Structure 1
Amino acid sequence: MKYKLILEYFGANFHGWQKQKNLRTVQGVLEETLSKIYNKNIFVQGASRTDSGVHAYGQVATFLPPNFSLKPEKLKKALNSLLPWDIKVKKIEMVPISFNPVKDSKAKYYIYKIYNMDYLSPFYYKRAYLVKRTINIFHFEKILKVFIGKKDFAAFCDKEIKEKKDTVRMLFDIFVDKSEENIIDIHFLGESFLRYQIRRIVGTALACYFNKISLNDILKAFQTKETLPYSVPGEGLYLMKVFYKDLDQK
């Protein structure tokens, strides 16, 4: 057996999930804290390598403790008492040692937040992306629907990823609503996502909405695989949940 953690963190204070030398990362802070508790080096594996600035409400991570003297609830309290304010553990449970947070995931759910007003509220600084021009969410959603389905997203991901790995991904659904008067939430549910994929989709959809490119330009990009030069910053992106059962069983 090993421990499975569900985490939430304020991504603006981290250089992404993955541990990097001389940089503050979520994995690095978590491993350092666990190592203090167990007095032994601990390796943590995360379900998603969130980029710099990206937030999480439902990141999943696992680790194998040197012993099970601390039960899940006591370990959760110990971790949250030692972890800094910008990362906390929501839940801990025991799972089979064969459980892999990456390979066993069935789907991931993200939200991208747009602050649609003429200025950015200080309460949403580094928590949402400011778009000053008015967006009609129904028209905007129609553009985003083009990205749904099993497609080759080579034109909508990191260039290095594009050259090294398969870029076909299944996007189950995208829909748009408002969580607050000025907050537009773009919901993404997909089997898995490429690096920068969601941010490039949002940036491209905004470019289309504001008539910088046409819908045909987007469809053409899927065919040619040529990267379109549109993206949005990571500060508006939130990992909400990682699914480990078939979606019809959730």
Structure 2
Amino acid sequence: MRMVAATVAYDGTNFYGYQGQRNVRTVQGEFEKALQKIFKEKVLSHGAGRTDTGVHSYGQTIAFKVPNDNMTIQNIKDALNSVLPSDIYIRNLEQVEKNFNPRFMAKKRIYHYYLYTKKDPDIFLRNRVWWFPYDLDIDKMRKAARHFEGEKDFSSFKSGNDERNPVRQIDRVRIIRMSKNIILIRVEGVSFLRRMVRNIVGTLTKVGTGTWTPEIVREIIEAKDRSKAPASAPPEGLYFYKILF
């Protein structure tokens, strides 16, 4: 039985996150419904990461075993895209080693977060970006971003009942002006705590508006106290962009 890995894009607006749950619509739930429809049996899947309610993906990786040896890779991809709902799309599908698990074998995860800074909202982007109608000082945000890089205890930047080890490695945080009104925050690391990226974004906007100085970020990290950091940025601006294996 072959193991394959799908590179999956999805619009997270109408999902209660990635992970399968009873009685609510999730990405994993819809994906496994499609697998069962194609293969006429229950097929389990394994994702590279869990996204929260409202968070999108361009490059989520989902691995699963193929019960039908007669189907080609292209057959499987086409079949999935024909039965999946319109807010999920398989961008690529390839055969991988039988022991492949995207969650544990990922070497780097990359998230993109988009801010829309125009004074008036664009209602057609309301589920795609964080409308943030304030001037942002990108240079100050870049100085603050350097404090996040490296291996550190990110207890101040986790949310909820996340009891995992708070020590994480962030390789790079980039602040990029994509256009006059769109700012991209790109965060690269091995793995992240619950809402960690959104909490980082919320902090960077505090610096960008001049409410905080860049140096305060270091103090918040050293405090290891969630109450010292601001509220999370909303989910609609966040995209699980890419995984490197």
Q: TM-score, normalised by structure 2?
A: 0.94
Q: Does 1:210 align with 2:199?
A: no
The separation in 2 between residues aligned to 1:79 and 1:123, in whole angstroms, is: 28
Give the SS at the match of 1:229: coil
- Structure 2 match to 1:46: 47
Which structure 1 residue ranges, 5 or more long, are not aligned? Answer: 245-250
- For 1:90, the equivalent position in structure 2 comes to 91
TM-score, length-scaled by structure 1: 0.93
Distance in 1 between residues matched to 2:105 and 2:27, nearest whole Å: 21
Partner deviation per Cα, 1:92-122 (whole Å, 9 max, x = no partner): 1111111110111100111100001112212
**SS of 2:23's equivalent?**
coil
198-207 or 210-219, larger mean C-alpha shift? 210-219
Runs of 4+ residues over 3 Å off in structure 1: 211-217
Q: Distance in 2 between matches of 1:156 and 1:51?
A: 16
* CA drift at 1:215: 3.9
Separation in 2 of the partners of 1:235 and 1:208?
21
Contact 2:143 2:214 in 1 (8 A): no
Aligned to 1:148: 149
Q: In the alignment, which residue of structure 2 is the partner of 1:173?
A: 172
How many pairs are equivalent?
A: 242
Equivalent residue number for residue 69 of structure 2: 68
Question: Residues 3 and 65 of structure 2 are in contact (CA less than 8 Å); yes or no, is this contact kept in structure 1?
Answer: yes
Alignment of 1:124-139 (within 5 A): 124-139=125-140
Q: Secondary structure at the match of 1:204?
A: helix
CA shift, 1:204, in A, is: 1.2
Kindly indicate whether the alpha-carbon contact (under 8 Å) linking 2:18 and 2:51 is maintained by their aligned counterparts in 1.
yes
Unmatched tracts of structure 2, length 5 or more: none
Structure 2 counterpart SS, 1:28: helix
Deviations 1:25-45 (A, max 9, x none): 000000001100000011111
CA contact (8 A) 2:138 2:208 kept: no
Which residue is equivalent to 1:120? Answer: 121
Q: 1:214: Cα distance to partner? A: 4.1
Q: What amino acid sits opposite 1:221 in the alignment?
A: I
Q: Name the aligned partner's letter for residue 169 of structure 1.
A: R
Residue of structure 2 equivalent to 1:19: 20
Q: Counterparts of 2:70 and 2:97 in 1: how far apart (Å)?
A: 17
Which amino acid in structure 1 is aligned with residue 183 of structure 2? I
RMSD: 1.3
Verify: 1:194 aligned to 2:193, yes or no: yes
